[in-house]
């Protein structure tokens, strides 16, 4: 149970960025461990820089450590050089808080927010000294749990995990701690692990894959059914009804070394009802639950004072939709009075109102602006239900250029359902028009177009859609490259279609993909999110070696009656609602945001007896609000636009 620090310390000068492994963050906790205390190792299966800012992990870290019967520490995937050192020295994965061996924890719980981290999950379990396959684990081995957005289809990793938490983890970690504590106090005796897992499977929101049998009908799935009568047939996600009761993290971790998003984060709401059909996050996190505006303001001012950060991000799936946005922003920028605080809105809505807010709050340091029209034509945007008119985009872009921004980023998806070459090329046309608007203000105006290949995700209306092939995505990107080659001011960037394919394999797979993931890991395929480590051939080889067909798993359209690998799980959404929305998509029919329109019974509220929690019953001002209708006509944008600043320094976003 001793700290591994003294063994680790002499090794650190031999690895890159040793500060990744020292902990020492402001807000770090060094909890007591003991026989009556359940210890959790919360692990992010990517580097420290990527994992540390993860808010979900930090929230659970605090909640568990506040419990008298809980102790939580953290770990991150060691970079390849550190892994080599650990394996050479026969040292295990460790926590960064007290450098405790991972195998000494009762639970090792992973946050999964990207499918390509699955091989890192296996690597961390292995480095912990725990068998990667659930069935091979001894009774007293640490329990391996997972949570996060990817767990809405955990079937590809079902063989490797003991339990899965669906939805919000705030309450579930308490239930799990109590159950595991009883088991621990009783001595984790031989033969009791199975019983513990069976009890766990009865907790709301907790899925224990080993308690279910999977049957196939040829290549198709026949069903995933409980092995015991007291194990639930359907697992419903957990949903925290009132975010105001959970003002976490209270002490956001401030790292000693640089990480992505090195700033204060305050979650202003959870859930989104814009209804973008490609967006899994928007579907699985319903309903909308806003944090009270006063609480947001308090978390900002106390957080800035405590951390010393000069930047705060207001996080959510669409922060400009927060009904308290104006008051919160005004308080934040006036609070310090020094004008040195900047507020980041990581998810900008595409309209002039939003840009007005951005101008107001980025007085201190102005970063680049990013908009996500997602598709290049109005037809395509109706299909995906991102009802942004061209006028909205041009209004936003005009507003941004006129207020001093000189470059912006536009995000698009390609490979969407029903997409034609005309739709794809619409992306280039939109970008050129944006540059044209910019040139009237500044000759150096430029627009970066970032194109990602679309991966259909579980619990979205597009879950039945056959993903575009890798070569089709390559062709579409080729079209855009040819078309923008002579477009001055348009810079095209794209996500590797090969990586899009690998994501597609794991996104909608079933348990037969377990051996594929294990194969990739055993052949050195870690850090698959990193382009320098991504190994396309290895994925294809692993599929072939395990008789899994890429066409069948990725490129095939699913039918209405097909049993999907996640049908025994529930995000609250009715399957017939999703199917109807898929048919509407093909008919190019939009669906309005139910926050401000009558309920269309997707199931997320009614099924759980909860409601949207929004402070305002009317949509915020400006733009078309995703309705495709001009809601701003006749109404002034209620934000005072600043005079155009005179930039002295080129801003690099």
Partner 1 sequence: MKLRIRFDKHGKIRFTSHRDVARIWERTLRRASLPVAYSEGFSPRPKLSFGLALSTGHESEVEYLDIELDPERTDVSMDLDSLATELSTHLPVGMTVTAVAFIDRQTPSLQEAVTSCTWQIDVVDVDAETVAGAVARALAAENLVVTRERKGKQVTDDLRPLVLRLDVEGPIEADDTGTVAGVRLLAELGTQPRAVRVAELLAALDPPLTERRVVRLHQWITNDDTAERSDPLSAALSPAPAGAT
Helix (H, G, I), strand (E, B) or coil at 349: coil
User: Should residue 421 be labelled a site residue for partner 1 when binding is judged by CB under 8 A?
Assistant: no
Quote the least distance from Cβ 365 to partner 1, whole Å.
Answer: 5
Q: Does 45 bind partner 1 (CB under 8 A)?
A: no
Size of the site for partner 1 (CB under 8 A): 35
What's the rounded Cα separation, in Å, for the pair 226 and 573? 21
DSSP 469: P
Q: Which of 11, 12, 91, 641 forms a contact with partner 1 (CB under 8 A)?
A: 12
* Residue 445 makes contact with partner 1 by CB under 8 A: no
What minimum distance in Å lies between the beta carbon of 166 and partner 1?
37
584 binds partner 1, rule: CB under 8 A = no
All residues at 6 or more sequence positions from 125 whose CB lies less than 8 Å from its CB, including other chains: 108, 131, 132, 144, 160
* 65, 80, 257, 418: residue in contact with partner 1 (rule CB under 8 A): 257
263 lines the binding site for partner 1 (CB under 8 A): no
Nearer to partner 1, 49 or 155 (CB): 49
Expressed in angstroms, the distance from the first to the final Cα of the chain is 45
Q: What count of other Cβ atoms lies within 10 Å of the Cβ of residue 1?
A: 7
Q: Which stretch binds partner 1 (CB under 8 A): 22-30, 519-527, 555-563, 593-601?
A: 22-30
**Could you say whether residue 649 binds partner 1 (CB under 8 A)?**
yes
CB of 19 to partner 1, least distance (A): 5
Q: Using CA atoms, how far apart are residues 6 and 21, in angstroms rounded to an integer?
A: 13
- Which residue lies nearer to partner 1 by CB, 36 or 308? 308
Binding flag, residue 24, partner 1 (CB under 8 A): yes
Position among 1, 217, 229, 258 found at the interface with partner 1 (CB under 8 A): 258
Q: Which one of 11, 19, 563, 610 is in contact with partner 1 (CB under 8 A)?
A: 19
* Contacting residue, 178, 310, 391, 567, with partner 1 by CB under 8 A: 310
In the complex, the smallest distance separating the C-beta of residue 435 from partner 1, rounded to whole angstroms, is 21
Please choose, out of 12-20, 35-43, 53-61, 440-448, the segment that lies near partner 1 by the rule CB under 8 A.
12-20
The encoded tokens of residue 450 equal 């970032």
Contact 272, 595 (CB under 8 A): no
Residue with Cβ nearer partner 1 (10 or 634): 10
Does 233 sit near partner 1 (CB under 8 A)?
no
* Residue in 44, 105, 309, 353 binding partner 1, rule: CB under 8 A: 309
User: Helix/strand/coil (H, E, C) string of 417-464?
Assistant: CCCCHHHHHHHHHHHHHHHHHHHCCCCCCEEEEEEEECCCCCCCHHHH
8 Å CB contact between 377 and 422 = yes
**CB nearer partner 1, residue 306 or residue 475:** 306
**Which of the ranges 249-257, 423-431, 441-449, 547-555 carries the binding residues for partner 1, by CB under 8 A?**
249-257
> Rule CB under 8 A: which of 350-409 touch partner 1?
364-366
Q: C-beta of 329: minimal distance to partner 1 in Å?
A: 20
Within 485-526, where are the H helices?
A: 497-507, 514-522
Tell me the two tokens of residue 126. Answer: 């292995």
Nearer to partner 1, 235 or 408 (CB): 408
Residue 27 or 247 with smaller CB distance to partner 1: 27
Indicate the helix (H) or strand (E) that contains 490: strand 490-494
- Residue 199 or 262: the one with the smaller Cβ distance to partner 1 is 262
What is the CA angle 551-555-557, rounded to 5?
A: 115
Nearer to partner 1, 74 or 595 (CB): 74
Minimal CA–CA distance to 380: which of 580, 593, 590?
590
Q: Per CB under 8 A, does 638 bind partner 1?
A: no
* Token pair in block for residue 543: 């599929």
Q: Does 256 bind partner 1 (CB under 8 A)?
A: yes
Residues 286 to 305 in contact with partner 1, rule: CB under 8 A? 304-305
Nearest alpha-carbon partner for 404 in 448, 354, 351, 441? 441
Q: Which of residues 601-630 bind partner 1 (CB under 8 A)?
A: none
Q: Are 349 and 584 in contact (CB under 8 A)?
A: no
Nearer CB in complex with partner 1: 48/459: 48
Tell the smallest beta-carbon distance from residue 12 to partner 1 (Å). Answer: 6
- Within residues 189-228, the interface with partner 1 by CB under 8 A covers none
Asked if residue 16 lies in contact with residue 47, where contact means CB atoms within 8 angstroms, the answer is: no
Shortest CB 309 distance to partner 1, Å: 7
Q: Does 337 bind partner 1 (CB under 8 A)?
A: no
Burial class (CB in 10 A: 0-12, 13-18, 19+), 580: middle
**Can you tell me the distance from the alpha carbon of 383 to that of 369, in angstroms, rounded to the nearest whole number?**
26
> Does residue 82 bind partner 1 (CB under 8 A)?
no
Burial class from Cβ neighbours inside 10 Å (0-12, 13-18, 19+) for residue 277 reads: buried
Least distance in angstroms from the C-beta of 10 to partner 1: 7
CA trace torsion 571, 60, 281, 570 (10° rounding): -10
User: Where does residue 554 fall: left (phi above 0), alpha (psi -120 to 50 degrees), or beta otherwise?
Assistant: alpha
Rounded to a whole number of angstroms, the minimum distance from the CB of residue 1 to partner 1 is 19
Distance between CA atoms of 529 and 516, rounded to whole angstroms? 17
* Residue 180 binding partner 1, by CB under 8 A: no
* Count of residues making up the chain: 653
Q: Which residues bind partner 1 (CB under 8 A)?
A: 5-6, 9-10, 12-13, 17-19, 21-24, 26, 254, 256-258, 262, 304-310, 340, 364-366, 645, 647-649, 651
């Amino acid at each position: 149970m001793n700290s591994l620090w003294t063994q680790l310390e002499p090794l650190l000068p031999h690895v890159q960025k040793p500060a990744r492994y020292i902990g020492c963050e402001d807000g770090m906790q060094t909890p007591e461990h003991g026989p009556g205390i359940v210890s959790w190792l919360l692990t992010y299966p990517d580097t420290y820089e990527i994992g540390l800012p993860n808010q979900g992990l930090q929230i659970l870290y605090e909640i568990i450590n506040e419990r008298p019967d809980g102790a939580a520490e953290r770990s991150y995937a060691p970079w390849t050089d550190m892994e080599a050192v650990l394996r050479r020295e026969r040292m295990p994965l460790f926590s960064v808080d007290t450098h405790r061996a991972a195998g000494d924890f009762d639970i090792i719980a992973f946050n999964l927010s990207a499918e390509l981290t699955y091989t890192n999950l296996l690597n961390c379990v292995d480095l912990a000294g725990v068998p990667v396959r659930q069935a091979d684990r001894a009774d007293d081995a640490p329990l391996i749990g997972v949570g996060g957005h990817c767990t809405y289809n955990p079937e590809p990793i079902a063989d490797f995990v003991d339990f899965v938490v669906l939805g919000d983890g705030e309450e579930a970690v308490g239930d799990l701690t109590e159950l595991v504590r009883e088991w621990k106090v009783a001595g984790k005796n031989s033969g009791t692990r199975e019983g513990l897992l069976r009890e766990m499977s009865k907790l709301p929101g907790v899925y224990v894959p080993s308690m279910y049998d999977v049957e196939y009908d040829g290549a198709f799935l026949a069903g995933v059914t409980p092995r015991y009568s007291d194990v639930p047939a359907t697992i419903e996600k957990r949903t925290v009804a009132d975010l105001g009761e959970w003002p976490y993290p209270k002490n956001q971790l401030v790292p000693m070394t640089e990480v992505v998003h090195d700033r204060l984060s305050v979650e202003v709401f959870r859930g989104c009802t814009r209804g973008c059909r490609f967006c899994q996050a928007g579907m699985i996190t319903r309903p909308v639950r806003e944090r009270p505006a006063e609480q947001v303001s308090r978390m900002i001012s106390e957080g800035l004072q405590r951390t010393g950060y000069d930047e705060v991000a207001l996080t959510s799936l669409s922060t400009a939709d927060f009904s308290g946005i104006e008051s919160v922003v005004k308080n934040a920028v006036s609070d310090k009075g020094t004008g040195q605080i900047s507020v980041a809105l990581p998810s900008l809505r595409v309209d002039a109102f939003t840009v007005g807010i951005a101008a107001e709050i980025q007085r201190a340091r102005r970063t680049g602006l990013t908009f996500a029209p997602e598709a290049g034509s109005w037809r395509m945007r109706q299909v995906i239900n991102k009802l942004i008119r061209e006028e909205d985009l041009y209004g936003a872009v005009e507003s941004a250029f006129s207020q001093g921004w000189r470059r912006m980023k536009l995000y698009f998806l390609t490979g969407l359902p029903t997409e034609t070459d005309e739709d794809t090329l619409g992306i280039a046309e939109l970008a050129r028009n944006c540059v044209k608007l910019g040139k009237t203000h500044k000759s150096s105006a430029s627009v970066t177009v970032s194109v990602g290949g679309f991966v259909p995700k579980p619990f979205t209306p597009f879950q039945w859609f056959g993903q575009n092939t890798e070569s089709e995505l390559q062709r579409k990107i080729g079209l855009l490259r040819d078309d923008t080659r002579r477009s001055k001011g348009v810079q095209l960037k794209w996500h590797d279609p090969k990586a899009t394919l690998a994501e597609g394999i794991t996104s909608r797979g079933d348990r037969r993909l377990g051996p594929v993931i294990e194969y990739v890991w055993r052949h050195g395929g870690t850090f698959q999110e990193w382009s320098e480590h991504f190994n396309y051939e290895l994925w294809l080889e692993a599929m072939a070696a395990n008789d899994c067909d890429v066409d069948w798993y990725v490129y095939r359209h699913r039918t209405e009656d097909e049993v999907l690998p996640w049908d025994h799980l529930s995000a609250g959404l009715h399957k017939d609602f999703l199917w109807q929305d898929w048919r509407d998509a093909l008919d190019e029919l939009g669906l309005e945001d139910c926050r401000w329109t009558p309920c269309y019974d997707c199931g997320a509220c009614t099924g759980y007896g909860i409601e949207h929690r929004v402070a305002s019953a009317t949509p915020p001002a400006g733009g078309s609000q995703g309705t495709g209708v001009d809601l701003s006509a006749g109404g002034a944008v209620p934000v005072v636009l600043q005079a155009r600043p005179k930039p002295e320094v080129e801003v690099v976003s």
